[in-house]
Amino acid sequence: MSLAEELKERARREGAALAGIAPAAPMPQASLLEAQLAADRDASLSFLRRDAAVRQDVRRWYPQAQSVLVCGFAYGGGRESKGPGMGRIARYAACEDYHTALKRRMEAVLAWLRTRAPEADGRAFADSSPVLERLYGAAAGLGWVGKNRLLISERIGSYFLIAGLALNLPLESDRPVPERCGSCRRCLEACPTRALDDGRPFAAGRCIAYLTIEHRGPLPKEHRPRMGGWVAGCDLCQEACPFNSAAPREGVLAPALPQGLPLEELAACDEAGFRERFGRTPVSRLKARGLKRNALLAMGNSGLPRFRPVLERWGQDPDPVLSEQSLWSLARLPR
């Protein structure tokens, strides 16, 4: 077995459902990054702008890189729990936080590689590094970048997270797989805020995942009615994807939350309660205030008059973002 094959086998033993190797070269589609950033002035993803040049070539992040091991870790998420009055939580956000867990697994793979090739060195990435993970994943043959802009595997769909290792060894690369979206448009039609549009750069500022998790301050009024019950992330473009109909329900990340929680509970969560319940999950990124804001919006979108008293109370809150959101929601509910 070649070292490249052994390395992928090792990654699978660390829990990767997918493992492949890409050359450490700039990605040909990287120029689309500029187009996306130019089209998306409203999305406050300032970190993408700050390190755009680094993102386009992994060697600007790890100069010794000669190849990149890219892995896909499937996630199941907690019990599904949707319905009127529930705040919906995206599958990945209902799991234990993946950044440290996946980086640790990649570092274990690197430690093993050093026992096989003492000259080996590398740098692990899992989401937070300036690496265009989906493009390197596509170059490593894990899947293709779909119309929903996610990396889709024919075998396991798209409910997987990416992590990897930039390596100083020249390892044999895998071949990219052909794009299989074809004429399917289900994800484009499923996105209520029209973040996805064929032939146009992804509009991150309209994506419900962006709006619920990354956007600070009042939510843009034009998108509010279409955000439904989502309070942390969104899976609509993945739920609509036919390749996810057979996606594994279990993954390496432990489920930490159900995929829906009662809106009253979310709005009532104080700082200590928030830390206790969400501190070890990706929901922690929203902070208690962000989660409250989203829950108050979802109440307005629920159509349920039982939320009126709660919203009336929050309408008096000294925090202008929460009070304005509550009054907006109140005006939408029937008496």
Does 39 contact ligand B12 by CB under 6 A?
no
The smaller minimum CB distance to ligand B12, of residues 91 and 326, is found at 91
Does 231 contact ligand B12 by CB under 6 A?
no
Residue 18: left if φ>0, alpha if ψ -120 to 50, beta else—which one? beta
Residues 134/140/146/150 CA torsion (nearest 10 deg):
-30
Residues 233/238/244/250 CA torsion (nearest 10 deg):
-10
109, two tokens: 């793979």
User: Looking at the DSSP assignment, which residues form a beta bridge with residue 68?
Assistant: 22, 166
Is 197 marked active-site?
no
Does 32 contact ligand B12 by CB under 6 A?
yes
* Closest-CA residue to 145 (of 255, 47, 241): 241
| Number of Cβ within a 10 Å radius of residue 249 | 12
Q: Read out DSSP for 20-59?
A: EEEESS--GGGHHHHHHHHHTTTS--HHHHHTHHHHT-GG
The smaller minimum CB distance to ligand B12, of residues 134 and 277, is found at 134
Least distance (Å) from ligand B12 to the CB of residue 115? Answer: 27
5-13, 24-32, 63-71, 103-111 -> range binding ligand B12 (CB under 6 A): 24-32
Q: Read out DSSP for 51-101?
A: THHHHT-GGGTSTT-SEEEEEEEE---S----STTEEEE-TGGGBS-HHHH
Least distance (Å) from ligand B12 to the CB of residue 140? Answer: 13
The one among 68, 166, 219, 237 contacting ligand B12 by CB under 6 A: 237
Backbone φ, ψ for residue 157 (5° rounding): 75, -145
The one among 132, 267, 291, 310 contacting ligand B12 by CB under 6 A: 132
Does 133 contact ligand B12 by CB under 6 A?
yes
Does 210 contact ligand B12 by CB under 6 A?
yes
- Order of strands across the sheet that contains 122-125: 18-23, 67-74, 160-167, 122-125
The smaller minimum CB distance to ligand B12, of residues 24 and 90, is found at 90
The smaller minimum CB distance to ligand B12, of residues 129 and 302, is found at 129
Binding mask 107-126 for ligand B12 (x = CB under 6 A): -------------------x
CB 123 within 8 A of CB 166: yes
**What are the angstrom distances between the C-alpha of 86 and each of 25, 225, 293, 321?**
45, 16, 14, 21
Least distance (Å) from ligand B12 to the CB of residue 311? Answer: 26
Does 234 contact ligand B12 by CB under 6 A?
yes
Least distance (Å) from ligand B12 to the CB of residue 138? Answer: 7
15, two tokens: 């829990």
Least distance (Å) from ligand B12 to the CB of residue 94? Answer: 10
The one among 69, 70, 207, 253 contacting ligand B12 by CB under 6 A: 207
Pairing of the two strands 86-89 and 230-232: parallel
The smaller minimum CB distance to ligand B12, of residues 101 and 110, is found at 101
Catalytic residue among 51, 127, 198, 270: 127
Contact residues for ligand B12, defined by CB under 6 A: 29-30, 32-33, 36, 45, 48, 55, 90, 92, 126-127, 131-135, 145, 147-151, 158, 160-162, 202, 204, 207, 209-210, 213-214, 233-235, 237
- Residues that are catalytic: 127
